[in-house]
Structures are given as C-alpha cells and as structure tokens.
Amino acid sequence: MYRLYYYPNNASLAPHFILKHMAIDYTLHRVEREKEGQKSVEYLRLNPSGRIPVLIDYRINSNGLAIFESAAICIHLCEQYPSHGLIPAFGNEKRPLFFQWMSYLSTTLQTELMLRYYPERHCVGIGAVSEIVSVQNKRIASVLAIIDDALAEQAYLVGDVLSACDYYLFMLALWALPFEKAPLSYQHLGPYLRRLSTLSVVIQTCEFEEIDISAFQS
C-alpha cells in the first residue's frame, strides 16, 4: 500500500504513471499547492525540501516510510515490483543504461527546465531574467538533441522495452512543450512521444490530473 502526495503535472507525475502502470494498491493525496501546502509543517516532516512529490510506503514499513525525490521514488517502485519490467533486471546489460538515463533526466534535463521556469530564483535583479531564459532555451534544446540521437535506433530510452525512464521523459516533455524548440519537433523524440501519448497508462493518468496531451496526438 502506498500514498502519493501529488499535484497535477508536477514531479509527482512520473511516480503516478508508474503506480498506475503497476496497478498496485495506492491512494493519492493532492497537495494544496495553491495554499503552499508543500511548505506546511506536516508536509515538511515528510519532505524537508518542501517539494512535491512524496511517496509513503506502507509495504516496507507499516508506519509508512516517507520517500522524496521523484526519480528515487520511481526506482524504488520498479525494484519492489521487478515483474513489471520497468527496470532491467540485475545483471542485464541494459541496467546501467537505465541508471544513466534516469540520472540524466532528473539531474540534467529536469534541472535545466526548472531554471527556465523560474529564472528569477537565479538572479538578483530582473535584468538577467531574459538572458537566463534565452540561455536555458539553448541548453534545453541541446539536452533534448542528445536524447533525440539516443532514440534514433531504439524504440525506448533503454532499448526496445518500455521502462520507467520513458514515463519520466514524458513528464519532462510535457513541461518543455511551451519552450522555443518543443520536444515534438525533434526527428526521433517527436514520434516517440506521440507513441507514448497513446499508452492507456498515460491517457488515464493525464485524464485524472486534467493534463492536456492533445498536442502529442495531433
């Protein structure tokens, strides 16, 4: 049994996809982000960084173990239910590549996207905001180009089988949609994302969170 603290189209989306994919027993708790619920005393006890998501795992600990960091939650769920195949098995040559891409997505693409979304957090005056936006557009485009190249000869990020990395990338691609060079405009990444957008897990989860994915389907 799990409880996911989420907010629509936040970093909770990838763990939400994975819980849905595995069809395991979970409940969802929508954080009142409009009221800064992620900074409340109760929430900070679960995640001292005051960020969304948090997963409470009642399977590993009946009192509920709180885990934060979206990628860590995804990997943990994959390892608890290896039969779903969302992570290559121990000893499989693709397993290091799973960790490579999960790390690249969460520490590089996600970080660059956050800087693009919140430039004012990274400079003192507003003068530098437009400069950060323009630099970030280029940096995000170059990260997406690396992912695009990787998808040239394989159906999914970690080879020929869907993994948690694909759900993670779909979440980040949703965030990158409004930017200068949209993920859908890339030669291999575009068709790949369109394919992912037809998965019932993606459709149902996005429907639940009221996320518009029509751009992927047009």
Ligand X SMILES: N[C@@H](CCC(=O)N[C@@H](CS)C(=O)NCC(=O)O)C(=O)O
Checking 203-207 for CB contacts under 8 A at 24+ apart, the result is: 204/20, 205/13, 205/16, 205/17, 205/20
**Subset of 92-131 contacting ligand X (CB under 6 A):** 106
Work out whether 159 is an interface residue with ligand X (CB under 6 A).
no
Q: With binding defined as CB under 6 A, does residue 52 bind ligand X? A: yes
* Residue number, 40 or 137, with CB nearest to ligand X: 40
Q: Which stretch binds ligand X (CB under 6 A): 51-59, 95-103, 145-153, 195-203?
A: 51-59
Rank residues 32 and 149 by Cβ distance to ligand X and give the closer one. 32
The window from 45-53, 163-171, 182-190, 194-202 that contacts ligand X (CB under 6 A) reads 45-53
Position 69 contacts ligand X (CB under 6 A): yes
Residue number with CB closer to ligand X (50 or 190): 50
Structure token pair of residue 169: 């990338």
Binder among 18, 21, 22, 38 for ligand X (CB under 6 A): 38
Q: Is 104 left (phi over 0), alpha (psi -120 to 50) or beta?
A: alpha
172 binds ligand X (CB under 6 A): no
Instruction: Please report, for residues 9, 44, 59, the alpha-carbon distance to residue 89 in angstroms, rounded to integers and kept in the order given.
Output: 29, 34, 21
Does position 197 interact with ligand X (CB under 6 A)? The reply is no
The answer to the question of residue 54 lying near ligand X (CB under 6 A) is no
Run of H or E residues at 5:
strand 2-6
**Are 70 and 12 in contact, with CB atoms under 8 Å apart?**
yes
SS3 of 112-146: HHHHHHCHHHHCCCHHHHHHHHHHHHHHHHHHHHH
- Counting every residue written for the chain, the total comes to 218
- Indicate which single residue of 2, 10, 22, 156 sits in contact with ligand X (rule: CB under 6 A): 10
Could you tell me which of 156, 152, 182, 185 has the C-alpha nearest to residue 169?
Answer: 156
Q: Which of 50, 64, 85, 190 binds ligand X (CB under 6 A)?
A: 50
Stretch that binds ligand X, among 49-57, 81-89, 136-144, 155-163 (CB under 6 A): 49-57
Minimum CB distance to ligand X, residue 192 (Å) = 22
Least separation in angstroms between residue 107's CB and ligand X is 9
Collapse the DSSP code of 211 into the 3-class scheme (helix H, G, I; strand E, B; otherwise coil) and give the result. Answer: coil
Which residues are at the interface with ligand X (CB under 6 A)?
10-11, 38, 50-53, 69-70, 106
